[in-house]
Structure 1
Amino acid sequence: MIALSLAEIAEVVGGQTHDIPDPSVQVTGPVVRDSREVEPGSLFVAFAGEHVDGHDFANAVVEAGAVALLASRPVGVPAIVVDDVQSALGALARHVVRRLGATLVALTGSAGKTSTKDLIAQVLARKAPTVFTPGSLNNEIGLPLTALSATAETRFLVLEMGARGIGHIRYLADLTPPQIGLVLNVGTAHIGEFGGREQIAQAKGELVEALPSVEEGGVAVLNADDPLVRAMASRTKAKVILFGESGEADVRAENVRLTDSGQPAFSLHTPSGCSEVTMRLYGEHHVSNALAAAAVAHELGMSADEIATALSEAGSLSRWRMEVTERPDGVTIVNDAYNANPESMRAALRALAAMGKGRRTWAVLGKMAELGDEALAEHDAVGRLAVRLNVGKLVAVGGREASWLQLGAYNEGSWGEESVHVSDAQAAVDLLRSELRPGDVVLVKASRSVGLESVAQALVEAGTEGEVAAR
């Protein structure tokens, strides 16, 4: 964070100082909520959660070097006490962002947010110091903490914004007002909470409504291939830039193809020129993510060649998102278990099919959460798609939703051997350990709550331990 005194922070957040001998002492380290992340000069944000109360760590964090706590009650050590810690954290982030002088890029969408954010960050880092959301910390706590990690040297701040209802993105955009707003897509993630795709579009479009006008430098980057996103152009005063494979897109891809290993390649066309891209990531769905990143980079002054080079060299920065491990015995594990929705599930299955040409493929899938009344139809459709893509075997893991996945595959298949339903992650591991052969490709994917990353990790470890014998 940019250096601020405790007195300044107290004024910004409307708090009272307690047990602070010298209010002129500055916070020079990071603002953190996890006591394990405290460094000398830190400000520790004490949230009182359902299971853990940050106030209980007051003495420990000060001993570890924290200058003070942002707290809801006095704790006997230096603290700035406020009525609402979350609101105070947001107010501090808003103040720091206004003082930074950095260009703030915000993005949202139903699928691909984290992968696209990682691409944007890697591309922009070629141009100037860049700070970006770690992982998927895209809510009312993670977003301000990310913003507060920027320093005086930061020139680009890339923030992922998530939403579980109308008004959420409006709130986040008020905390950290963006100059560039990117909307990737409107899908069915969290449709059970929103009530329909139109409501999701309404929520995602709050980002472009928050942008400054064309005259003030605002830019809305919209997906030309998604009608609900493209329609958001009417909801903003900002300049509109379209990306996609549509011929009307300002930044577009032509000659899209996959390499033999399933990595996308394409010709990148921007208003400033054209260049060739071959990505290190896996799956054709990353083309759209790359175009979104390219559109942002173009608006910030990067050439087509610079963008193409950066995209071609960019890797995955976040765990369990199409994380590919080649085992010594020739088995490939694709760990995409961080989260799942119908769009990302379909994209992952298509990537598996591309990666597995001439090889035996396995899809180890679990439930997709928060789909409401659409849950049965969506799980059934994913199971059917696995068969249509000629996935060798679907292993559906878990309860009711997994049974729907398996049933969809069974009904789509011709003899029922395309799928199997197992009770839990350990049963999936046991099955695969006994049946995997060198050269097989295994995709592991489900909503985060299922915890299928344990399956991927166990299979990776089994390969290093030599537990799978060649057959």
Structure 2
Amino acid sequence: MLDLTLTEIAEALQGELVITAAAAEAGFTPGTVVNGTVDTDSRLIGQGDIFVAKRGEFDDGHRFVEPAIAAGASLVVVEKPFAAEHGATLAVPQVVVDDSVLALGHFATEVVRRVRAAGDAETRLKVIGITGSNGKTTTKNLLHTILERHGETVAPRDSFNNEVGAPLTMLKLTESSRYLVAEMGASGKGEITRLIRMAKPDVGVVLMVGLAHAGEFGGIETTLATKTEMVQDLEPSDLAVLNIDDPRVAGMAEKTAARVLWFGLSDGAAVRAGDIEATAAGTSFTLHLPGGQSRTVRFAVLGEHHIMNALAAAAAAHELGVGIDDIVDALESVVRAERWRMEVMGGANGVTVINDAYNASPDSMAAALKTVALIARPDQRTTAVLGEMSELGPYATEEHDRIGRLVVRLNINRLIVVGEAARAIHLAAEHEGSWGGEAVFVETADEAYELIAADTEPGELILVKSSNSAGLRFLGDRIAEANS
């Protein structure tokens, strides 16, 4: 983080600085400089860090103020004066705010402003915002890999893309940061706009608009309106990187004042992929960039759908002045999208486990199944272990049913459905005719594991796919370990 005094931090948080007698005795003054990492998780606090006590749905971060101080926090941000309850035990300053989450946003906005103001035309911080129903984290990771070779790059860990995770990422900026790759998710209208106002993108990327989280949004049209927020406030000097193959995303070109750079598989895309060949080792394709540039990419990330994420990252990097050779070299250095995202885990007797159970939507579930069907050898047994796709609301039964029928049409040899919320996948597969495969329903991941452990053929290809809430990512690890 930037070097800021306690007074400057309190002003940025729009809160009141309180230095107790114990903190004053420890040497803290309003002019004390603090530059530690900001976090809401007391377990991640180290010496000199800033702990923000946030109230959550199931717990209250104020319970962990003292553990954070014991871990070395040099400042705590609270919604109620902590010293009033604990007196002289509080030997570090505090900033009292009305709402910790809103205060985090204010703090991030000020830090981004200061970093941008510190650079000249050549070195000024560039902000790249990424949104879409699927692929945000993978695209963020790919772009981070490309850009970090050309300057200090800040990007979120995991899927830190909401009203808490995004500002925590922004607060990692320093005066020497060249790029901020901001993954921007949302569960309702206005949330992306709020994130953009903390750090307005120079480059806004929209990947796709699908049914992921449709239950929370209230329908696909609301999802579309929310994702469109990414490009609506861009200025003519900014760039919108849009997926030409998704009609909903393509329609955003009419909603933005920014220049548009298209990516996709269609001929009309300025950044596109051709000559695509998918295998169990990854995907090979030809990357075409504006100006007639092209190069072959041997992309180790499994699944043709991840080519679109690679194209989006390449388009943004090209706009930022990165050459095609550097883009390709960086893409080829990435061996997996992210932990538990199309993660290929080899095992004994040629068994391969594809663990893709961190997130699931109808689009990503279908893409994972199609990848299995595409890369499987004619003599290779295929098994899909599928769990719930969460947050689909009224679309849940229909979309789980569609996935069950797709399993049959792709001729996956064996289907194991886990959990009552995913039962419609099993019922649909059983009702679909002309399939020589087997469909089994179980209540728990342990039952699924026992089925796999009792019957796994040499060379089998096993996909494990579900939303994070179903917990099957740990089942995927367990299956892989048992076959290693």
Matching residue's letter, 1:345: M
- In the aligned structure 2, how far is the partner of 1:156 from the partner of 1:416? 52
Matching residue's letter, 2:392: L
Counterpart of 1:26? 33
2:282 pairs with 1:263: yes
2:135 pairs with 1:112: yes
2:45 pairs with 1:38: yes
How many pairs were matched up?
459
SS in 2 for 1:329: helix
SS in 2 for 1:281: coil
Q: 1:44-123 residue pairs with structure 2 within 5 A?
A: 44-76=51-83, 77=90, 78-101=93-116, 102-123=125-146
Matching residue's letter, 1:386: V
Conserved? CA contact 1:387–1:418, under 8 Å: no
Counterpart of 2:443? 423
2:186 pairs with 1:163: yes
Structure 1 residue 444: deviation in Å? 0.6
Structure 1 residue 288: deviation in Å? 0.7
Change (3 A) 1:390 1:416: closer
Instruction: Pick from 191, 199, 202 the counterpart of residue 222 of structure 2.
Output: 199
Q: Percent of aligned positions with the same letter in both sequences?
A: 46
Instruction: Pick from 394, 398, 404 the counterpart of residue 419 of structure 2.
Output: 398
- In the aligned structure 2, how far is the partner of 1:28 from the partner of 1:317? 32
Matching residue's letter, 2:321: G
Counterpart of 1:276? 296
- In the aligned structure 2, how far is the partner of 1:302 from the partner of 1:112? 22
SS in 1 for 2:403: helix
SS in 2 for 1:254: strand
Instruction: Pick from 347, 352, 356 the counterpart of residue 327 of structure 1.
Output: 347
Counterpart of 1:469? none
Instruction: Pick from 374, 378, 386 the counterpart of residue 365 of structure 1.
Output: 386
Question: CA-to-partner distance for each residue in 1:128-169, whole Å, 9 max, x for gaps?
Answer: 121111111111000000111122222111011111111111
- In the aligned structure 2, how far is the partner of 1:368 from the partner of 1:277? 32
2:410 pairs with 1:389: yes
- In the aligned structure 2, how far is the partner of 1:415 from the partner of 1:254? 33
Conserved? CA contact 1:264–1:286, under 8 Å: no
Counterpart of 1:467? none
- In the aligned structure 2, how far is the partner of 1:455 from the partner of 1:60? 33
2:254 pairs with 1:234: yes
Structure 1 residue 355: deviation in Å? 3.1
Question: CA-to-partner distance for each residue in 1:359-387, whole Å, 9 max, x for gaps?
Answer: 11110001111222222221111111112
Q: 1:298-337 residue pairs with structure 2 within 5 A?
A: 298-316=318-336, 318-337=338-357
Conserved? CA contact 2:295–2:328, under 8 Å: yes
- Which runs of 5 or more structure 2 residues have no equivalent in the other structure? 84-89, 117-124
Q: 1:239-250 residue pairs with structure 2 within 5 A?
A: 239-250=259-270
Structure 1 residue 423: deviation in Å? 1.4
TM-score (norm 2): 0.92
Conserved? CA contact 2:382–2:412, under 8 Å: yes
Structure 1 residue 417: deviation in Å? 4.0
Conserved? CA contact 1:269–1:304, under 8 Å: no
2:150 pairs with 1:140: no
- In the aligned structure 2, how far is the partner of 1:223 from the partner of 1:122? 21
Structure 1 residue 62: deviation in Å? 2.1
Conserved? CA contact 2:411–2:435, under 8 Å: no
- In the aligned structure 2, how far is the partner of 1:219 from the partner of 1:294? 14
- In the aligned structure 2, how far is the partner of 1:223 from the partner of 1:50? 36
Structure 1 residue 416: deviation in Å? 6.5
Matching residue's letter, 2:326: E
Change (3 A) 1:415 1:244: closer
Structure 1 residue 125: deviation in Å? 1.4
Conserved? CA contact 2:402–2:428, under 8 Å: yes
Conserved? CA contact 1:394–1:420, under 8 Å: yes
Structure 1 residue 274: deviation in Å? 1.0
- In the aligned structure 1, how far is the partner of 2:114 from the partner of 2:189? 29
* Larger displacement relative to structure 2 (58-67 or 223-232): 58-67
Structure 1 residue 109: deviation in Å? 0.4
Question: CA-to-partner distance for each residue in 1:194-236, whole Å, 9 max, x for gaps?
Answer: 232222111100010122x22xx31110001011101101111
SS in 2 for 1:23: coil
Conserved? CA contact 2:430–2:439, under 8 Å: yes
Counterpart of 2:271? 251
Question: CA-to-partner distance for each residue in 1:65-115, whole Å, 9 max, x for gaps?
Answer: 211101111223220001111111100000001111321111100111111
TM-score (norm 1): 0.94
- In the aligned structure 2, how far is the partner of 1:258 from the partner of 1:132? 29
Give the root-mean-square deviation of aligned CA atoms. 1.5
- In the aligned structure 2, how far is the partner of 1:250 from the partner of 1:91? 37
Conserved? CA contact 2:408–2:437, under 8 Å: no
Matching residue's letter, 2:11: E
SS in 2 for 1:297: helix
Change (3 A) 1:128 1:70: same
- In the aligned structure 2, how far is the partner of 1:417 from the partner of 1:267? 36
Conserved? CA contact 1:144–1:176, under 8 Å: no
Counterpart of 2:9? 9
Question: CA-to-partner distance for each residue in 1:397-436, whole Å, 9 max, x for gaps?
Answer: 111x422101221222425743111111111000000001
- In the aligned structure 1, how far is the partner of 2:79 from the partner of 2:217? 32
Matching residue's letter, 2:282: Q
Question: CA-to-partner distance for each residue in 1:313-333, whole Å, 9 max, x for gaps?
Answer: 223363211111101332111
Instruction: Pick from 442, 456, 463 the counterpart of residue 462 of structure 2.
Output: 442
Conserved? CA contact 2:384–2:416, under 8 Å: yes
* Larger displacement relative to structure 2 (413-422 or 70-79): 413-422
- In the aligned structure 2, how far is the partner of 1:355 from the partner of 1:416? 19
- In the aligned structure 1, how far is the partner of 2:347 from the partner of 2:469? 26
Question: CA-to-partner distance for each residue in 1:218-259, whole Å, 9 max, x for gaps?
Answer: 111000101110110111111111100111111111112213
